[in-house]
Each structure stands twice: as structure tokens, then as C-alpha cells.
Amino acid sequence: MKKIFLFVLTTALMSLFLAGCSSSSDSSVVKEPDTITIAWLPNTVGEDLKEARDEIGKVIAEATGKKVDHKLTTDYAITIEAIASGTAQLAWVGAQQYIEAHEKNDKVLPLVVSSGDSGTLDDAMYYSRLVVKKGNEDQYKSGDGFSIDNIAGKTMSFVSTSSTSGCKVPSSGIVAHFSQQDQWKELKQEELLEGGGDKFFSQVIFGGSHQLSLVNVLTDKAEVAAVDDVDVASYVELTAGTENRPGAVYTVRENADPPFDKLAGAQYVLIQSTPVLNAPVVANTGVLKQETIDAITRALTSDEVTNNPKIFIAEGGKGFFNQPQCFLTVEDDWFEPIRELSK
């Protein structure tokens, strides 16, 4: 009888304890800040993109009734730490930064991603590219196309170790390609991040942003660079070939904003291009009430936002998302293909 009493008492105490634990994530007890802070990656903090950032902040402010601040970061790691710690409650980050923030704090969850031009998730992607300066592309030609066989021993520019399209995807592709060769069959992704005489690359540098990674190859600081298409689209134009296909030639526009303001006319050529899942707007759900999260999600997926030309810009405009796209809700498991790249 005494054992039964102890069992019942223990069960009751455990129930109370578990109830207490679950209530800590209850929206009614979340103490959210009066000001919502949005963290932005280094690729998105340029003065030329201020109007686009402010317009998204305005939507969030109107949806929640709260003031919105923008945290402009100078390093991917700072953005990840800001959203994981809750000092920023929202962020627009790449898939890899989302995964790293979620690993630090599983309360960080995706709200929406921009669709593809179809208005669905089927083509919700952008491109990770390996590029070389125009004039050097013959070193990488193979038959009628291009190959990355000759990038071994070159100077390489990545964006950041936490960049999806500027490091994770291209390094995974390089390992997949070269591990088929006896000399590199044991090659690991982490070995690509450091250069030297006995390394895969002779030297490795990090631009810190897609824009500066591209500048590295245009100014001969690197022979090959990893660069996505969306973060440099407003500075360059396609002048030969097919968009985002090996062999495509891009030219820096006249009157391009910094950091390309002294590089007008400079050209680069794609030698490899890989599709990447679109970047999510993420929230730290541990520091925002569910009704606040729902209000933000409803606002971002509304027709009003879809038809806002300061958020979904026309071709040639300054911003982050393009017409005729829209925001769509996503769950954590949508990013599994990117997680698989690290296994």
C-alpha cells in the first residue's frame, strides 16, 4: 500500500512538473519585447537596400502594433547568435544559417520563404555559382562545356563558413566531384576552408558577403569565387549565355552602387551553378507570443505584401524579392536537403 501511495504521489508530482514545463512555452506567459528586432545578414545591409528593409519593417510594425528595429550585422555568426539568443526576434537568413540557429535553439523556426515565379515552392530556389574572371575561363573548359577539374591548387574565395550558397553548397559539390579521383578520395568539406601547399586550395579567403566574394575574383585577390545570383543581381547584367548556366558572362553595370562602384564593365564567367532552397524569414518562437507570430505570418503572406512593389520588386529594382513571387509558409523539414549536405 505504501508503495502504491508513493507511486501515485510521484506520478502526481511529475504531472505537476511537466505541466509547469509546458506552461513555460505557453503564449500567455511569453514576455515579448515592445520592440521587434530584425537581424539582417551582411549581404543585405547595404544603404541601397534600406528602402526594402524599411518596407518589411513597416509591414511587421503594422501587423503587430510594435516598433521595429533593424540589426545590421557584419558577420553571419552575429546574425545566427542574435536570432538564437532572442536579442533579435526575426531574421531573414539562408537555409544553412537557419539550421545552425535551430541547432542552437530549437525555438528558432521558419515562418515563410519566397516562392518561385510559379507562386509555389516547386521552384523556390536560387543559385550557388562558382565564377572566374573573364579572360581566365579557358582554364576550366571541357569539351563544349565547363568543368571544375582545374580549381585544385587555385586561390579560392568563399563568403562565410555559415553561408549556404557561398560555402556549404559549393564545398559539398567540390567534394562530391573530386572524391571520385584517387588523389582526393578522402577529401572532406572542412579541408577546403584552409589553403596551403598540402591543401586542396593554395589559399582560401572569405569575402564576408556575396558582393565582396565577387569583388575578390574581379580584383584578382582570388582565382575562383563562390557567389549566389540574388545578392549581386542589382549590380550586374547578363551579357552572354544563359542565366545561371555554366558559360554565362555577367558585366558590372555602369553606376553600380558600392562595392562595385569602381568596377563598371568588369566581367566574370560561371563555371558551375547549383540550385539552392530559398532563404526563410525565421522567428525565435521562444520570445514572441503565438498571436504575434500568427499576425506576422498573415501579413507577410497577404495579397497586400505580394502586390507591394517595394517588397516584391520589378526586374532591375533594388530589393530582396522579385515579382511575380510571393511568401509561402514552410516547416522545418523543408530544409532537410540542406541538412543532408553536412552529413
pTM: 0.81
Do 266 and 252 touch, CB atoms closer than 8 A? yes
Q: How far is CA 293 from the centre of its chain?
A: 21
Give the cell for residue 123.
Answer: 521552384
Closest CA relative to residue 301, chosen from 50, 113, 80, 26: 113
Quote the pLDDT of residue 13. 37
Q: Which regions of the chain does DSSP assign to beta strands (E)?
A: 35-40, 67-72, 90-92, 108-114, 125-133, 141-142, 145-146, 155-158, 203-206, 224-228, 236-240, 249-252, 267-277, 280-284, 312-313, 321-322, 327-329
What parts of the chain have a pLDDT lower than 50? Answer: 1-25
Q: What count of other Cβ atoms lies within 10 Å of the Cβ of residue 77?
A: 14
Q: What is the pLDDT of residue 340?
A: 84
Question: pLDDT digits over 181-235, tens only?
Answer: 999 999 999 999 999 999 999 999 999 999 999 999 999 999 999 999 999 999 9
